[in-house]
Amino acid sequence: MTVLLDSRAIQEILPHRYPFLLVDKIIELEPRTRIVGIKQVTINEYFFQGHFPDAPVMPGVLQIEALAQVGAILALREFADRDSKIPFFSGIEQARFRRPVVPGDTLTLEVTAIRIGTKVQKMRGEAKVDGQITAEAEIMSVIAERK
């Protein structure tokens, strides 16, 4: 598996930081078209303390957030002044959760652009473990100026 962007390179693009940075590396990238990221899910994730202590499951909303972060990388790469930009969720449509994600899973996050503009983005994301879809959604975001 070729790593195109490691965690340091990702942090040069995204404003997210621990404990809310939910993508570890980017392994595929077609500018303005498609991107694939990886999240290694470990028992050390903060959310497993309460979701659920006796049966740890990654919350579906965090899978969607991980897809949004991967999509934000695809979009923000297009801005020369990306240090002055911040992506905000503006909508989630057709979200579905298909199977649990548990400690030890490798979550593959594939996002395809539907629309990438200077302000509004719309993308389709699928999260998978071992080729099986765990979550999917259409994600909309707005790229705003950081203040």
Quote the CA–CA distance of 17 and 11 in Å, as a whole number.
7
Residue-wise pLDDT for 84-112, tens only, equals 999 999 999 999 999 999 999 999 999 99
Positions of the chain with pLDDT under 70: none
End-to-end CA distance of the chain: give it in Å, rounded: 38
Answer for the pair 127, 108: CB distance below 8 angstroms, yes or no.
yes
Asked if 69 and 14 count as a contact pair (C-beta separation under 8 A), the reply is yes
Set 34, 51, 77, 98: catalytic member: 51
Q: Say what the pLDDT of residue 103 is.
A: 98
What pLDDT is stored for residue 118 in this prediction? 86
* Residue 51 annotated to the active site: yes
pLDDT at 101: 98
